[in-house]
Amino acid sequence: MVAAEAPLSAPLEVGFDYTRSLGPVLSRFVTALRDRRVEGVRGSDGRVHVPPVEYDPVTGQPLSEPVEVGTEGTVVTWSWMADPLEGQPLAHPFAWALVRLDGADTALLHAVDAGSTAAMRTGMRVRIRWAEQTVGHIRDIACFEPVDAASPEVPAVARPEATAEPVTMITTPVHLHYRHSASLEESRYLRGLAEGRLLGQRCPECAKVYIPPRGACPTDGVPTREEVELADTGTVTTFCIVNVPFLGQRITPPYVSAYVLLDGADIPLMHLVLGCAADEVRMGMRVKAQWRPREEWDTTLRNIDHFRPTGEPDAPFESYAEYL
Amino acid sequence: MSGFPEVAVVGFGQSPQVRETTGTTNGVEMLVPVFQRLLADTGLSRREVGFWCSGSSDYLAGRAFSFVTAVDAIGALPPIAESHVEGDAAWALYEAWLKIRMGEADTALVYGFGKSSAGDLRRVLALQLDPYLVAPLWPDSVSIAALQARVGIEAGLWSEKEMAEVAARSRADGATNPHAQLREPLDPAGLLDTPYLADPLRAHDCAPITDGAAAIVLAAGHRAAELCERPAWITGLEHRVDSPVLGARDLGRAPSAGAAAAAAGTDGVQVAELATPFTSQELLLRRELGLADDVAVNPSGGPLCGNPMFAGGLVRIGEAAARVMSGQAGKVLAHASNGPLLQQNLICVMEGR
Amino acid sequence: MAAALAAVLGTGQTKHTSKRTDVSMAGLCREAIDRALADAQVGWDEVDAVVLGKAPDLFEGVMMPELVLADAIGATGKPLLRVHTAGSVGGSTGVVAASLVQAGVHRRVLAVAFEKQSESNAMWALSIAVPFSMPVNAGAGGYFAPHVRSYIRRSGAPDHIGAMVAVKDRRNGARNPYAHLHQPDITLESVLSSTMLWDPIRYDETCPSSDGACAVLIGDEAAADAALADGRQPAWIRGTVMRTEPTVAVGRNHANPQAGRDAAAALWAKAGITDPLAEIDVAEIYVPFSWFEPMWLENLGFVPAGEGWKLTESGGTELGGRLPVNPSGGVLSSNPIGASGLLRFAEAAMQVMGRAGDHQVSDARTALGHAYGGGSQFFAMWVVGSEKPGVRR
């Protein structure tokens, strides 16, 4: 029996550069930002919303009347970011603030490059520091700075032609970092794989053998701790031939994605079948694991590169029909 | 409206609140012992439960459909009546309450779970903000809460000293809660000398990062007495949501909490369990709900002693219900929240009889 | 005490397409909501609560988007619930919204479901490899194709059944101005010769990836009576059901899941239906890959196990057939994942309300809306009818 140790974990990166369409109101706002101007929108009650909102917070009515506001404003409240996180406006300590721009009735959330908390106070005056390159994005405002700050020399940038296309989309990268843990049972199964062993787990109540193990027996809701060593031979219950390329794909199509019911297991596991033409794979085909070289083994089912046909006669349909 | 059955909380169970569970983001490992204990305590069998409902978040797990594997903890064969909310499990309790009221079930088991330690919670919660103009700046949850704290301080609604007192009181109470994550008391004297975490918030003003799970059993009138000696009858269950626009709201207020409380009827509550992961938010909510000075707030220690995300509101309901079920209190309220700065709020009022 | 009566007063949906780059998420929802409120002749102030459903937040990269959408969807100051039950979510949204009225809590509830999946990529979101796993997963189609194969084997269905369904649903979709895909000239030959994506599922037998939203306004008995008196037919909700089973379990039948069978049986009982094939006039069922039509016909109990493909092959599920299935064009014509289930529920309601336009089934009085999700493990369904349910149980 594989010794019980701490659960295995590995990084899980989840990220995408989302492409967002803005709709008319927000499009107008970011287009103005590109032009180094700020336009809010007038609400049902006459309030000027900056940032703009598409639908009035009180009446729910669609809003559309643009109102240009100033590029200077007043800090309504602030907090201090001592240790900036990935993706935030500045890499050195800064203040988060709600800033009410001159002419607006609501406040915009952004960063203030104040240098220290001593320079921050509610009611202080700040102005926009524009990004060197403005593209039509909230980050065209690089941050705010105190109005009395000495402004670095910024070459005057010619405003884009009035006929330039409005900005209708923004791209927002969202990249998150997680630590994914396997359960204790799954960790034992994975450590077994690292030794070239296939360890199933039996439920104490229904006595069925699961591989890979689930968090608990799905039928009885209890942990499946009893280990059962399984052979690396089995039967293809059903399968498909994957022809479609997709983002993040790791195996080159066409390939056979199959459910393999290992001898002694009560649920099939998903893997590849190679070693014959894809269209020769059949339901009921007998297969055996083709392991990678031992020195490449790790705590993963990928130690098995694929399953290949053994050449034995197919298993009769009745022997695996209940596992479909 | 008459004619619909009354609903009571008849059981509450929770996992230990820990900084990091050895379990997975599926929640199964945290939930299995909770279910076993809860079902044993109530005498209900798994197959008798009429409806199951959970609350959790894919973004906590870093995976789409992360709530699906949690169903393994139930043993859902034969198939069950089950649903899920992407948010605090208090709203799953609401959905279960509806099912019982309309006669679809006479018992329900509600559960919530969250493994915050798997990711960077402070950063992930930035994704609850406007995706076009706010989230791309990645304003983290602590910084946002700090903005709100300052609004109240400068308006004279609360002070840093009062915030520190909330922290000290909570931690003293947490010491008596065997499930709490933080159980060492804080010395109130030195708290204001500690450095700011996000000026004006200090570390003691903020809930810890917690992994945990919780579950509650609800029962319709006729069944409640069979399952529990002293059911906590739900006499008010209301929730509302406020506008998401941070710059257009009065951050010193949580109008949706006040409206939910008014509709639920909170007069005379003796205990209030509030899902306020920041000390300033407790002070805000006390004022918003009009709680009398003698109401015991978060006698469990509250979120400041352990804050399992997406189960937190359910824990508040359970802790408040437990005071009724043990005979310690006659009328209690529990609060739950979703979103930044108390944007969405639920109030559950329960009474003993 | 039995549940209070509830009825659909109005429905609305967007023009579904691969990328709605003309609107924000709020704009997408409002397009459907504004239409539903207009169809129901209900004002914003009259909506008591909002229930929003959508599939995983990863698709749009917004955590709990109902919160940022609160103003836009008219939820501010009101109760707002967010349902997430994987692919069946649109259906669950309808079920939960109905329960708010059936439990006597609210008088008028807005259900809205949406997906703006063009902001990322649906195949990516459905195929993210988790550590320690073998990355064989190839999206939803790759998941279901092996089970389609086992259905074909078990039932002995001929090869062209899937293609027949695709032809029918796409031609139906061509009559639906909101549908994403309009393929009036699609033929059996063209489908059979389209690329195999996940053998045995072909390209033309596969749902599109769509941006879209759907909204349904549900009212209580008094509101429905008033609408009827005003000459506007409501769709009375005769029963709703949800059932779940585990993704993986020994003895699970992936092609004919127990949870689906149990759900249907419970639904027919609640709605007082003893012969579904005879008593249901039209069915909007969740068919994202064409072979699911015969599979679900069996799972729902319209025909015995193994016989589903025969009903399809006979033309019985065509618009003018014995049991029209997916006259709207179904999921095969439009698939904004989070909204698709609610679209099925809404289209069923539209049929008995007489508002299905060019895809109206004549004299439709009782209709089924069906949704499923996950590994064919989550089911949500409802039966709606034009006649007010009689005596309460």
- The DSSP call for residue A265 is -
Indicate if the pLDDT at residue C113 is higher than 50: yes
**A 28-87 residues with CB < 8 A to B:** 29, 47, 49-51, 53, 57, 76-82, 85-87
Smallest Cβ distance to C138: which of A53, A190, A244? A244
- pLDDT of residue A250 exceeding 80, the answer is no
CB C180 within 8 A of CB C18: yes
Q: Do C146 and A11 touch (CB under 8 A)?
A: no
The rounded distance, in Å, linking the Cα atoms of B205 and B304 is 8
- Tell me which residue in A174, A266, A271 faces C134 most closely, judged by beta carbons: A271
Return left, alpha or beta for A113; rule: phi > 0 is left, psi -120 to 50 is alpha, else beta. Answer: beta
Q: Provide, as residue numbers in chain C, all residues whose Cβ is less than 8 Å from the Cβ of A279.
A: 199
* Residue C111, both tokens: 């259900």
- Cα separation, C90 vs C346, whole angstroms: 10
Return the pLDDT at C134. 81
Which residue's entry shows tokens 């159980």?
B183
pLDDT category at C393 given cuts 50, 70, 90 is: very low
- Measure the CA–CA gap between C201 and C195, rounded to whole angstroms: 9
- Tell me what the mean pLDDT of segment B313-334 comes to: 98
B25 vs A249 pLDDT, higher one? B25
pLDDT at A160: 57
Residue B241 has pLDDT above 50, yes or no: yes
Task: Report residue B31 as tokens.
Answer: 């939930």
If you average pLDDT over residues C299-323, what whole number do you get? 97
Q: What ipTM was assigned to the predicted interfaces of this complex?
A: 0.96
- What mean pLDDT is reported for chain C? 95
Cβ neighbours of C159 (radius 10 Å): 9
Question: Which residues make beta-bridge pairs with C52?
Answer: C82, C112
Give me the residue label for tokens 């199933």.
Answer: A200
- Pick from A194-198, B3-7, C349-353: least confident: B3-7
Name the least confident of A142-156, B49-63, B87-101, C324-338: A142-156
CB A37 within 8 A of CB A136: no
Neighbours of chain B (3+ CB pairs under 8 A): A, C
Contact assignment for B147 to A96 by CB distance below 8 Å: yes
Of residues A250 and C58, more confidence is placed in C58
* Nearest-angstrom CA–CA distance, C83 and A151: 50
Q: Indicate the angle between helix axes C337-353 and C89-102, nearest 10 degrees.
A: 50
Q: How close is the nearest chain C Cα to the Cα of A319, in Å?
A: 13
Chain A touched by B135 (CB under 8 Å): yes
Yes or no, beta carbons of B125 and C100 under 8 Å apart: no
Q: What average pLDDT score do residues C171-179 get?
A: 98
Going from N- to C-terminal start, the domains of chain B cover 7-120+209-232, 121-208+233-351
CA–CA separation, A280 and C89 (whole Å): 38
Residue A295 clears pLDDT 90, i.e. is over it: yes
Note the CATH number of domain B121-208+233-351: 3.40.47.10
Per-residue pLDDT tens for B123-154?
A: 999 999 999 999 999 999 999 999 999 999 99
Cα→Cα distances A106→A264, B250, C77, Å: 67, 10, 19
pLDDT attached to residue C140? 87
| Residues in chain B within 8 Å Cβ distance of A109 | 134, 137, 139, 246-247
Find all residues with CB under 8 Å of B249, minimum gap 6, and list them. B242, B243, B341
| Angle at A304 (CA atoms; ends A300, A309), nearest 5 degrees | 155
Per residue in A210-249, is it b (16+ CB within 10 Å) or e — as a string? bbbbbbbbbbbbbbbeebbebebbbbbbbbbbbbbebebb
User: Is pLDDT at B73 greater than 80 in this prediction?
Assistant: yes
pLDDT of residue A246: 76
Q: What is the CATH number of domain B7-120+209-232?
A: 3.40.47.10
Tokens 């009009």, located at residue: B290
CATH topology match: B7-120+209-232 vs B121-208+233-351: yes
| Chain A residues whose beta carbon lies within 8 Å of the beta carbon of residue B60 | none
For residue B262, give the H/E element and its range: helix B255-264
- Is B208:B303 a contact under the CB 8 Å cutoff? no
* DSSP letter assigned to residue A212: S
Dihedral sign, CA of B64, B66, B72, B77? negative
Give me the DSSP letters along A89-103. S-SS-EEEEEEEETT
Taking CB atoms and an 8 Å cutoff, what residues of chain C touch B1?
104-105
* Spans of all domains in chain A: 14-174, 181-229, 231-324
Contact predicate C345/C328, CB 8 Å? no
- Give the residue among C255, C293, C341 at the shortest CA–CA distance from C172: C293
High-pLDDT (> 90) share of chain C, %: 90
CA-nearest residue of chain A to B244?
A: A57
User: Which residue in chain C is spatially nearest to B1 when comparing CA positions?
Assistant: C104
- Distance between CA C245 and CA C252 in Å, rounded? 9
Examine the pLDDT at A132 and tell me if it is beyond 80: yes
∠C351-C352-C354 over CA atoms, to 5°? 65
Collect all residues of chain B within an 8 Å Cβ-Cβ radius of residue A82.
Answer: 196-199
